[in-house]
Amino acid sequence: MEHKRRVTKPQPKRKRVQSKTDCGAFDSSAIFNMSQTITNSSGGNVMPTVNFASSQDANPFSIMSQHYPSQHASHTGMNLYPLLLHRSAVPPPWMSDLINKIDNLLLRMNSVDEIKSSVISIDSKLTKMGSVVDGLVKRVEVVENSQQFISAGFEQNKSDMAVIADDITSLRVVNRSMVDQLEQLQCENLRDNLMFFGIEEEEGEDSSAFRMGKKFVSKSTRIVRKPRPIIVKFIKRQQRDTVRQNSRKLKESTISISEQFPKAIHEKRKLLFPVYKKAKEAGKQVSFNKDKLFIDGEQTVVKSNELVKITRRDQSGDRMSDTSSGPGFSVAKKTPSVSSIKPSKSSVSDGSSSGSRFEVLADMHTGPD
């Protein structure tokens, strides 16, 4: 079965109520003039009337309504005042306070903007500082790593230096031992030799004995300053000792006899000779044993600076001359006896440790007094 559609009539449109005047459609004059009594549903209580016109200020919105003219409207039979009316140019105190607060708020907002810009600038600077600090941290890490590497290398060098120091100490001991052994061997090689000082040297002399060293001749006068010493190498040690013992008889002559030593020992004896001479003049018992000086049976050790002082004092007074006494010579006490030197074999060699020295190999024997 077909359902019938219900036909509904459209509601009539409400007519808009236009204002009676051209100024507006709302009249607020009735708000201040109306007096109504509102009763509740029970009808027991009656509310008092509200009269806006009875207030002290006839129009509290007069300040805000200075740009709004009065409007009148007719709607539902009610006339209303406009909400904003201009009645006075002087604002009330509460409005002045509000305006001041707004001005202060605007100033604070401006300061907030400045603070914001400052914060942004500080933030950018902090960002740059952060990057700089990161770079510094990396550099510090590199420096720390380098310092650790250097410390490790230093410790390694320190241990190596300790090992090297021990090696140097042991090498010094070995070197000193080798030097002593070398001097001992040189002394053994030269123990059969004697050095004769003060024997006059003539130009063009013909002798089987060869003098050591070079002639010291002046270029202007060609005068010989002092005769060169002669080194004699004995075949037999007994003959050498006999001549050495008889050298005491040469006290009054210009000839002196001395043992031959290596250059190092010779230099030490030469430095100790001023002390030897001074002790001898004082009447003490003095003797040499290789490079050691004994005074009254005790070994004398003289420092290098004291040796320099003694040598200078001795040179300023009584100069030491190799023509009358050689280093380590034995002072003779008796007059010399006639002795003959008959060379049987002669050979020239260059085996001395104190430079080029001529040696004569001879069979020495002494004759009767």
**Domain limits of the chain?**
20-90, 91-190, 193-362
Distance CA 210, CA 206 (A): 9
> Could you tell me the strand order of the sheet in which 193-197 lies?
256-259, 193-197, 230-234, 359-362
Q: Are 198 and 256 in contact (CB under 8 A)?
A: yes
* Close Cβ partners of 83 (under 8 Å, ≥ 6 residues apart): 28, 61, 64, 65, 68
Closest residue by Cα to residue 253 from 318, 214, 196 = 196
Please tell me the predicted confidence (pLDDT) of residue 172: 95
Please tell me the predicted confidence (pLDDT) of residue 11: 65
Q: What is the pLDDT of residues 283-313, one digit of tens each?
A: 888 887 777 888 888 777 766 555 554 444 4
Distance CA 27, CA 15 (A): 19
Q: Which helix (H) or strand (E) holds 197?
A: strand 193-197
Closest residue by Cα to residue 69 from 58, 59, 82 = 82
Residue segments in the chain with a per-residue pLDDT below the cut of 50: 1-2, 19-77, 80-81, 83, 85, 215-224, 309-369
With a threshold of 0.75, does the pTM exceed it?
no
**Tally of CB atoms within 10 A around 65:** 17
Distance CA 278, CA 171 (A): 38
Distance CA 77, CA 226 (A): 165
Q: Are 250 and 336 in contact (CB under 8 A)?
A: yes
Token couple for 165: 């120091």
Distance CA 319, CA 277 (A): 11
Please tell me the predicted confidence (pLDDT) of residue 138: 92
Distance CA 274, CA 306 (A): 11
